[in-house]
């Protein structure tokens, strides 16, 4: 066992695990992508549960299975997808915060619901900040841990916990946000997930039949979806001869229609500019739900106004504030605070 600062050892990285925080902002004009946790709400929740600042970095685990060992005593929380995880032999589920003795091993089976889990550790994953963020830019190969996805045998440094006294507090759990991935469709046969979308700048220029089809069709998440973009399968959309547009900035959640008529929803690792018509933009408050949708699972889209988009955003903030209040009642930090590495 290491005698230095505690680390988390990656015993089994699984399909795709990487270090992510909220993302990299302020550099898009230089072509540098946002990156960051796809389920940002899960990251914020998990950080609160272990006494971290909301900006601390965690390990994003895609689907699982995965296994980690902690060299020092710490505290961890697992959020996002639903995992029947075990800490050594003790069951430990999503939404729980639990003290961890030195040398303990956390094993995650494949998620029983959802697509991505967040392993948050007291003190956060203390990889260096690059351009203001600890997120991994997988395409450009920088940030996070050596600019790449985690591999078996990696040992990630942990920051000093801001909430040192709380590390040994008893385990507790919180209610997961409404419509969390427990209610997400898990199979191709399930009821589709409903995602709220604001019509995009080029929406009105598309043929009426295309617009109708966009909202009425049940789409499926294609198997070649990833952190850059979610491809949708369904009857192709006719762009009505609309040519490419002058290049413009694109943001995560943007639904583009390329010439082949198969819509793509841009996710956090998407490039900063594009030129395809923007049929819509998934509202910020629903991006995390979409991030938990399983490959091949059905999804449909409903139009909303900006007022509804913001109301949904406020509802999220309200959920987190209620969590904060509950944590404070329990004598835990329960609100964002500065930490030495956050």
Partner 1 sequence: MRCYRYGDHAVVLAAQGPPSLACQQRLWTLAERVRTWPQVEDVVPGMNNLTLICRPLRMAFDELTHRLRAAWMDAEAEALSGREVDIPVDYGGEHGPDLEEVARLTGLTAGEVVSRHAGGDYVVFFLGFLPGFAYLGGLDPRLHVPRRATPRLSVPAGSVGIGGAQTGIYPLAAPGGWQLIGRTCEVLFDPTRTPPTLLAPGDRVRFRIASVRP
**Least distance to partner 1, CB of residue 314, Å:** 7
Helical H runs in the chain?
Answer: 40-49, 208-216, 284-291, 306-329
Rounded (10°) CA dihedral 11, 17, 19, 23: -170
Q: Does 306 bind partner 1 (CB under 8 A)?
A: yes
Q: Does 217 bind partner 1 (CB under 8 A)?
A: no
* Dist. CA 342–CA 125, nearest whole Å: 10
Q: Does 194 bind partner 1 (CB under 8 A)?
A: no
Q: Does 281 bind partner 1 (CB under 8 A)?
A: yes
Question: Footprint of partner 1 on residues 1-20 (CB under 8 A)?
Answer: none
* Dist. CA 69–CA 155, nearest whole Å: 9
CA angle 167, 173, 178 (to 5 degrees): 135
Tokens of 59: 């390990």
**Least distance to partner 1, CB of residue 272, Å:** 5
Binds partner 1 by CB under 8 A, chosen from 4, 91, 241, 246:
246
Q: Does 253 bind partner 1 (CB under 8 A)?
A: yes
Question: Footprint of partner 1 on residues 310-329 (CB under 8 A)?
Answer: 310, 313-314, 317
Tokens of 144: 């996070």
Q: Does 27 bind partner 1 (CB under 8 A)?
A: yes
Please answer whether residues 83 and 93 qualify as being in contact, where contact means their C-beta atoms are separated by less than 8 angstroms. Answer: yes
Q: Does 141 bind partner 1 (CB under 8 A)?
A: yes
Which residue, 42 or 82, has its beta carbon nearer to partner 1? Answer: 42
DSSP code for 249: E
Count of chain residues binding partner 1 (CB under 8 A): 42
Which residue, 9 or 324, has its beta carbon nearer to partner 1? Answer: 324
Binds partner 1 by CB under 8 A, chosen from 273, 318, 330, 337:
273
Three-state SS string across 295-325, please?
A: CCCEEEEEECCHHHHHHHHHHHHHHHHHHHH
Q: Does 254 bind partner 1 (CB under 8 A)?
A: yes
Q: Does 137 bind partner 1 (CB under 8 A)?
A: yes
Tokens of 109: 């089976």
Please answer whether residues 250 and 274 qualify as being in contact, where contact means their C-beta atoms are separated by less than 8 angstroms. Answer: yes
Kindly list the residues in this chain that would bind partner 1 in the complex (CB under 8 A).
25-33, 130-131, 137, 139-143, 198, 200-201, 246-249, 251, 253-254, 271-274, 278, 281-284, 306, 309-310, 313-314, 317
């Amino acid at each position: 066992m290491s005698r230095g600062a505690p680390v988390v050892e990656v015993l089994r990285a699984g399909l795709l695990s990487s270090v992510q925080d909220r993302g990299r902002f302020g550099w898009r004009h230089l072509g540098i992508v946002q990156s960051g946790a796809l389920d940002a709400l899960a990251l914020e929740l998990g950080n609160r549960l272990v006494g971290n600042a909301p900006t601390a970095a965690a390990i994003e685990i895609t689907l699982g299975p995965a296994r980690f060992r902690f060299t020092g005593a710490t505290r961890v929380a697992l959020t996002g997808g639903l995992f029947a995880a075990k800490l050594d032999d003790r069951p430990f589920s999503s939404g729980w915060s639990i003290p961890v003795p030195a040398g303990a091993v956390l094993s995650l089976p494949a998620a029983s619901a959802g697509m991505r889990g967040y392993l948050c550790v007291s003190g956060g994953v203390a990889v260096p900040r690059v351009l203001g963020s600890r997120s991994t830019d997988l395409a450009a190969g920088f940030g996070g841990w050596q600019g790449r996805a985690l591999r078996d045998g990696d040992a990630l440094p942990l920051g000093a916990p801001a909430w040192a006294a709380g590390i040994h507090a008893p385990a507790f759990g919180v209610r997961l946000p409404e419509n969390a991935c427990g209610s997400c469709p898990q199979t191709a046969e399930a009821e589709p997930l409903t995602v709220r979308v604001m019509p995009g700048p080029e929406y009105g220029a598309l043929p009426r039949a295309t617009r109708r089809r966009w909202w009425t069709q049940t789409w499926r998440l294609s198997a070649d979806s990833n952190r850059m973009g979610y491809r949708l399968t369904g009857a192709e959309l006719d762009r009505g001869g609309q040519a490419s547009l002058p290049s413009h900035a694109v943001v995560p959640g943007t639904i583009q229609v390329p010439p082949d008529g198969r819509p793509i929803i841009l996710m956090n690792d998407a490039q900063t500019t594009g030129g395809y018509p923007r049929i819509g933009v998934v509202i910020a408050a629903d991006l995390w739900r979409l991030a938990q949708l399983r490959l091949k699972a059905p999804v449909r889209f409903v139009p909303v106004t900006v007022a509804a988009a913001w109301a949904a955003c406020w509802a999220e903030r309200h959920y987190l504030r209620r969590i904060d209040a509950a944590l404070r009642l329990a004598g835990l930090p329960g609100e964002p605070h500065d930490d030495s590495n956050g």
